[in-house]
Chains A and B, each alone.
Chain A
Amino acid sequence: MSVTPATSSHTSQPLGSAFILKKALISALVALVLFSLMIGIRTEAGNQGGLIYWTRFGDLATMVGVVFGGSIIVELLRQWFGPVETDKVVPKPVRAAMSFVGHWLAPALLAFALFVPVIFYHQRYILDLAILVLTYVMLGWGLNVVVGLAGLLDLGYVAFYAVGAYSYALLATNFGLSFWVCLPLAGILASFWGVLLGFPVLRLRGDYLAIVTLAFGEIIRLVITNWQSLTGGPNGVSGIPRPTLFGIPLDNSDDGLAAKLGIEFSPTHRLVFLFYLILAMALLTNWVTIRLRRLPIGRAWEALREDEVACRALGINTTTTKLTAFATGAMFGGFAGAFFATRQGFISPESFTFQESALVLAIVVLGGMGSQLGVALAALAMIGGFELFRGFDQYRMLVFGMAMVILMIWRPRGLVGHRAPTVYLERSEAISSDLVKEGHG
């Protein structure tokens, strides 16, 4: 079941234009059948309760044309780039330049991030977007512990995000606890749920684990939606207090930060504060992850990812190893959730759907699973890409899905697709991830 001869993918293909045209025609024909009813006919509930429909053959023809043209372009590109399997020989200067970029990109990005509020002080929109990107960077780094390091596929990461957000929201609105007290509590509660989820799924592997975590995420969301007396149900929790600078509120009042410093109040102050807050939290996540990788537990995670059976044979306790991975990842999710709640001031179950989990997972996978820099870049690309579609909200997830499929086909290992073990014997040898056999995490 594991190894199968690639029967069709290696056969030499004719290069003539007739072949391309034939392929494009077949694609167009398939598209015509697929779209004939779904696009050609539009149904809608009519006024009298019955259904009405109208035809959209123009749109249908356009779509089929797009598929025809697209198929020709894809085929041409494929022949242009040659077979996917061939090794690309990279010229030496390019390689040197790339390693230079790889070496300095992370510090440069960090320096740039530190100055974002200074550069874009007057562009609220960009600041908002930067905060959003950093939230996803943090989520990505948190999930990276579970997926990238320990190799456990978690499709329900949003559950911990939700637990963190609701922990802060409920503690703050019901008991008046401040953000700085709630932040650790949110992390602890989320990691508690992580352990709770971790226990039953310890024995599961791969795909099963993915589905169970997905079910877990959905259960959390459904409980939040239905437990109206506690969580307010679909209406959510509103009036969540804004964060304070260690007790000093960032508002227009007399004891606000602006008044204390004697400067004129501006709502941007809070944005800047939130920006540095999430930047600090994300960097904390990153720092903890990097440190953990050098500890025995981090090594155990990586070993678990590579081969669980060998891990057990070496006397590594897979139970605690998996549980700590879940708990650590969940804790960062909880932190991010608390931040999300305080930034929004309002949360509802709608923010914690499966789509969020998939988005964060896509960021981690796209970032190359295990590469911290890759995850940050992927978050930037994904959320930035989403913003491009701000005007066409309904096409956003459609394009997201397409991007996910295309990226998987094009670069299954992510954009920074190389995972180097932290420890090695005798000499450093970056192992191309394509050579590594997948462990049954």
Chain B
Amino acid sequence: MDYFAQQLINGLVLGSIYGLIAIGYTMVYGIVGMINFAHGDIFMIGGFIALITFLILVSFGLTAIPVILLIVLLVSMAITSLYGWTIERIAYRPLRHSFRLAPMLSAIGMSFILVNFSQVSQGARVKPVPPIIAGGYTLHEGASGFAVQLSNVQILVVVATIVVLALFTWLVSRTRLGRDMRACEQDQTMAALLGVDVDRTISMTFVIGAALAAVAGIMYLLYYGVVDFFMGFVAGIKAFTAAVLGGIGSLPGAMLGGLAIGLIETFWSAYFSVEYKDVAAFSILIVVLIFMPTGLLGRPEVEKV
């Protein structure tokens, strides 16, 4: 039971990270109708920028952890958003009215660019950081000596995810931008006729998605203590799986799917085999798409001729 509780905590933390990335996929899919293949790599870039910022701040002698975290968060979100904006501008916007495969292939190319750009610019070796936030609580100590741990990092990841999600929900449901986004999702032509700047709204979608991915990147850095240039690929596919599982296009669904994937992966590693955890995640993707193509919270897609 203790072991189960521990895995539950680990799974929820991992799921929060996946959920944050999944929102980026689902938003872009909802509005532009394409799979932003490079999104996982934007998450990786976010992690790298957080790492570099952190390193600079520490070397300048800053020791107050909350201040460091705040600056890292802001810098990483800002620069990663700019990456998202630039990618949309260069690789996707010219292809928006092109045939269907074109943006997908362009996105794959962009993904290669990002992966290899960070490999060339930052080297291929894994970058470790010392634990930034130490400590934690022991929730329950069993008779066998197995203790259920809840570390401060885990608390931070979950709390930050909730805060970011609250902000994001407010943005989508209460602001002008959010209304524009929802309008574009339903009907771009009509939205444009009613005075919504479609280009700008789509750009902002990419910017917000990238900012959320940056938050996920920071969480990943804090939680695992490493970044490397290749981490975006697998994380990206898993987050996409999460988005599909939750019902692509649905924002709460993405978070729900993220949590589900995180839990499944953690329990699979804990009870079956660590080697096949990625296989499990990918298999879920296939199974979900076959039996539940609309996901948990998605709308059924009506086939139009």
Q: Is B300 an interface residue (CB 8 A)?
A: no
Cβ-closest chain B residue relative to A413: B99
Number of interface residues of A (CB under 8 A): 69
Interface of B is mostly: helix
Interface of A is mostly: helix
Alpha-carbon gap, A49 to B283, bound state (A):
37
CB distance from B222 to the nearest CB of A (A): 15
Cβ-closest chain B residue relative to A207: B35
Interface pair B199/A7, CB less than 8 Å apart: yes
Q: Is A42 an interface residue (CB 8 A)?
A: yes
List, in ascending order, chain B residues with CB within 8 A of A3's CB.
Answer: 189
Interface residues on B, range: 35 or more
* Total number of residue pairs linking A and B with CB closer than 8 Å: 202
Alpha-carbon gap, A39 to B123, bound state (A):
11
Q: Is B61 an interface residue (CB 8 A)?
A: no
User: A294-318: which have CB < 8 Å to B?
Assistant: 307, 309-310
Alpha-carbon gap, A208 to B105, bound state (A):
14
A38 contact from B34, B103, B118, B283, Cβ within 8 A:
B118
User: A27-76: which have CB < 8 Å to B?
Assistant: 30, 33-39, 41-45, 49-51, 53
A402 contact from B53, B113, B125, Cβ within 8 A:
B113
Interface pair A215/B108, CB less than 8 Å apart: no
Interface pair B113/A398, CB less than 8 Å apart: yes
B96 contact from A4, A30, A201, A401, Cβ within 8 A:
A4
Interface pair B110/A401, CB less than 8 Å apart: yes
CB distance from B229 to the nearest CB of A (A): 11
Q: Is A346 an interface residue (CB 8 A)?
A: no
Interface pair A409/B106, CB less than 8 Å apart: yes
User: B94-136: which have CB < 8 Å to A?
Assistant: 94-106, 108-123, 125-130
User: Chain B interface (Cβ within 8 Å of chain A)?
Assistant: 33-35, 45, 48-49, 51-53, 55-56, 59, 75, 79, 82-83, 86, 90-91, 94-106, 108-123, 125-130, 187-189, 192, 197-199, 233, 237, 240-241, 244, 275-276, 278-279, 282-283, 285-286, 289-290, 293, 303, 305
A-B contact pairs, 11 of them (CB 8 A): A8-B199, A34-B79, A39-B121, A203-B293, A211-B285, A215-B283, A215-B286, A361-B108, A362-B105, A398-B117, A438-B100
Known: A5-B192, A401-B112. 11 other contacts (CB 8 A): A38-B45, A41-B56, A53-B55, A201-B289, A203-B290, A207-B100, A212-B286, A216-B286, A222-B278, A394-B119, A397-B112
